[in-house]
Homo-oligomer: A and B are copies of this chain.
C-alpha cells in the first residue's frame, strides 16, 4: 500500500529529529532544550490544545514575542489540522479586535505583556474564546481575563506520547493579517503544502551558494523579524528542517540582540533595514564581533549606505524580496557579489533574482509581459507554488490580487537580462504620464541632494491631456532660500534629463512648498493624503 507522503508541516520535523536530535533551541535566558525536547513539547502542546477543544479547522491565535513557545505553535497548531493565527501585536487594539473576530479565534495564547491589550477588547470578541497565559517567568498575572491555564503548566500536565492526525497537504495551516493604508486588515492564509514548498525553495535559493555565504547546516539561526510577520519569513521552518541551532530573542532590544549574537555564536539572521540600523548604532555594537554574521534584509529596500556600513563590520549582507501574500520569498539578491566588483554593492542591494520555481514578470496594464531589458518598467507579477490563494472571506480582494492569473505585487520595477529585478516604485505611487510610467522614487532621488531641501515627495496629479503629470512636494530647511532651492532642484532635474537618466516626461510642472509632508501611522509617506492636499490647494 503506497504511502504518498503528503507535504505537511509535521514532515519538516522528521529529518532533524533523526539526524540532529541533540541540536539546541534557545529562547534567550528563558529556555534551552534539544530538538528531541522540542518534539516532546510539541506533542504535549498538541495534547493540551486538543483538551481545550482545538481540532480540525479550529483557529488558535498567538500574541507573543519571539519565543520557544511560538516555534512550538508553528508546528503543533497546524499539525492538529487547526489554523495558527499569528497576531501582529503592533496593530492598534481595534485592529487586533477586528482580526480576532474575523479569524474566528477559539483559543488565544497571550503573553502577559499583551494582557492589557487583550483585556481592553475581550468583551467585544464575538465568539467564546479560551485564553492561555504565556509567561517567561512563572508568577501570578494581573488580569481579569478568565484563563484556561498557563502554557508551561498545561504542557507539564499533558501527554508526551500524543499522536497527531494525518492531514491532507492542502489543509489550511496559518493565518495572519496584512494592513494597507486603507480599509480593514486582510487575512492571508497558507496551506501545509505551500509552507513545505516555500521551505524547500528558500533552501534552494540561499543554500547552494559557493564559499561561506548563504545558509548552511553549520549556521546558528536567530530571527530578527517577528514571528508574526509571515512566519518570520518562513525561516523557523527552514532552520528546523536543516536541524540548525536556533536562538529566539524574545522582545527585541538592540543591546540584548547583540549579546545573544555573541553568546550563542549566531551566524544567520534576517531583518528590516531599520532594525539593522539600530543594531549597528547600539552602544555595544562596536565591541561585538559581527564578522561571522550573515543577514538577509527584506521588508524594505536595502539602502546602499546601510549595506556599506554592514559590510565594513564584516557582515555578509544582501537583500531579498517578497510580501505577506507570497509566503514571502520571491527573489534574493546575489549573495556572492564581491563588493570589490564595480556593481557588487548594487547586486547585493538589488531586489534580486527569482527564487527557484518563481515565475516573475513585469507587465503593463494589459498584462502583456514586458521585456527583461533592465529598462522597461511595469508592475511585478508572480506565480509560484506557495503564493496565497486569496484573502480570507474576501472574494473581490482575492480576485484583484490574482487578476489575469498572476499575483499582483503592487510594486513597479524592471528586470535586466540576467534576471535581476530592481524595484522603482509602488504601483499606487507611480506617475502615469502619456503612457509612460514615471517612478516617483526616482524623481525624488534626483532632487534629494539639493542643499536647503528638508524633505520631498513626488506624486502624480490628474491632467486632462497626459492622464497624470508629476508634481513635487517640498519642505524647506529652516533658513534656506526657497527660490534658490527650487532653482537647484530644477537644475538637478534638467541635468538628469540631459544625462539620459530621467525621462523628459518626468519634469514636474509644479513644485508645491509645504510645512511638512503627510505620513502614515508607521511613518511612511502618505501619498494619498498628498494628492488630496494638492488637489484642494
Task: Spell out A's residues near B (CB within 8 Å).
Answer: 1-7, 11-12, 14-15, 18-21, 196-197, 200-201, 203-204, 206-212, 214-219, 241-242, 336, 353-360, 372, 383-385, 387, 389-390, 398-399, 402-407, 415, 417-419
Bound Cα distance A247, B232 (Å): 39
Among candidates B200, B358, B402, residue contacting A204 with C-beta atoms closer than 8 Å: B200
Among candidates B2, B196, B207, B418, residue contacting A19 with C-beta atoms closer than 8 Å: B418
The answer on a CB contact under 8 Å between A15 and B208 is no
Question: Closest Cβ of chain B: how far from A272's Cβ, in Å?
Answer: 24
Bound Cα distance A206, B398 (Å): 38
The answer on a CB contact under 8 Å between B216 and A209 is yes
The answer on a CB contact under 8 Å between A5 and B208 is no
What is the oligomeric copy number?
2
Interface centre among A197, A360, A385 (most CB of B within 10 A): A385
Which chain B residue lies CB-closest to A211?
B212
Q: Which residues of B contact A360 (CB under 8 A)?
A: 18
Q: Which residues of B contact A18 (CB under 8 A)?
A: 353-354, 360, 372, 415, 419
A203 in contact with B210 given A383-B5, A398-B2 (CB within 8 Å): no
The answer on a CB contact under 8 Å between B212 and A217 is no
Question: Closest Cβ of chain B: how far from A171's Cβ, in Å?
Answer: 15
Bound Cα distance A5, B358 (Å): 9
Bound Cα distance A61, B19 (Å): 40
Which chain B residue lies CB-closest to A244?
B208
Given contact pairs A3-B383, A21-B419, enumerate 15 new A-B contacts (beta carbons under 8 Å): A2-B402, A3-B405, A4-B389, A5-B359, A5-B387, A15-B358, A18-B360, A18-B415, A19-B354, A19-B418, A208-B214, A208-B216, A208-B242, A209-B216, A211-B212
Among candidates B1, B210, B384, residue contacting A216 with C-beta atoms closer than 8 Å: B210
Bound Cα distance A403, B1 (Å): 6
A406 in contact with B207 given A15-B356, A418-B19, A419-B20 (CB within 8 Å): no
24 A-B pairs within 8 Å (CB atoms) are namely: A1-B399, A1-B403, A2-B389, A3-B402, A3-B405, A3-B406, A3-B407, A4-B389, A5-B383, A7-B385, A14-B354, A15-B355, A18-B419, A197-B200, A200-B200, A200-B201, A200-B203, A203-B203, A204-B207, A204-B242, A206-B208, A208-B214, A209-B216, A210-B216
The answer on a CB contact under 8 Å between A356 and B208 is no
Question: Closest Cβ of chain B: how far from A334's Cβ, in Å?
Answer: 10
The answer on a CB contact under 8 Å between A359 and B405 is no
The answer on a CB contact under 8 Å between B384 and A5 is yes
Bound Cα distance A360, B387 (Å): 31
Bound Cα distance A18, B421 (Å): 11
A207 in contact with B210 given A19-B419, A385-B5 (CB within 8 Å): no
A2 in contact with B356 given A200-B201, A217-B208 (CB within 8 Å): no
Bound Cα distance A80, B11 (Å): 32
Which chain B residue lies CB-closest to A372?
B18
Bound Cα distance A419, B15 (Å): 8
Question: Closest Cβ of chain B: how far from A439's Cβ, in Å?
Answer: 22
Bound Cα distance A214, B203 (Å): 13
The answer on a CB contact under 8 Å between A204 and B417 is no
The answer on a CB contact under 8 Å between A14 and B357 is yes
Question: Closest Cβ of chain B: how far from A389's Cβ, in Å?
Answer: 5
Bound Cα distance A1, B408 (Å): 11
A217 in contact with B211 given A385-B4, A399-B1 (CB within 8 Å): no
Q: Which residues of B contact A405 (CB under 8 A)?
A: 1-3
Which chain B residue lies CB-closest to A420?
B19
Q: Which residues of B contact A384 (CB under 8 A)?
A: 5
Q: Which residues of B contact A12 (CB under 8 A)?
A: 357
Interface centre among A19, A216, A384, A406 (most CB of B within 10 A): A19
Bound Cα distance A201, B357 (Å): 14
Bound Cα distance A20, B420 (Å): 10
Q: Which residues of B contact A418 (CB under 8 A)?
A: 19-20
Question: Closest Cβ of chain B: how far from A241's Cβ, in Å?
Answer: 6
Which chain B residue lies CB-closest to A361?
B18
Among candidates B7, B209, B359, B372, residue contacting A14 with C-beta atoms closer than 8 Å: B359
List of 7 A-B pairs having minimum Cβ-Cβ separation, nearest first? A207-B208, A19-B419, A207-B207, A210-B218, A200-B200, A208-B216, A5-B385
Interface centre among A2, A214, A372, A407 (most CB of B within 10 A): A2
Q: Which residues of B contact A11 (CB under 8 A)?
A: 357, 359
Bound Cα distance A385, B241 (Å): 15
The answer on a CB contact under 8 Å between B357 and A5 is yes
Bound Cα distance A218, B166 (Å): 40
Bound Cα distance A405, B3 (Å): 6
Q: Which residues of B contact A4 (CB under 8 A)?
A: 385, 389
Q: Which residues of B contact A383 (CB under 8 A)?
A: 3, 5
Which chain B residue lies CB-closest to A358?
B15
Bound Cα distance A414, B194 (Å): 34
Bound Cα distance A5, B419 (Å): 20
Question: Closest Cβ of chain B: how far from A244's Cβ, in Å?
Answer: 9
Q: Which residues of B contact A389 (CB under 8 A)?
A: 2, 4
Q: Which residues of B contact A359 (CB under 8 A)?
A: 5, 11, 14
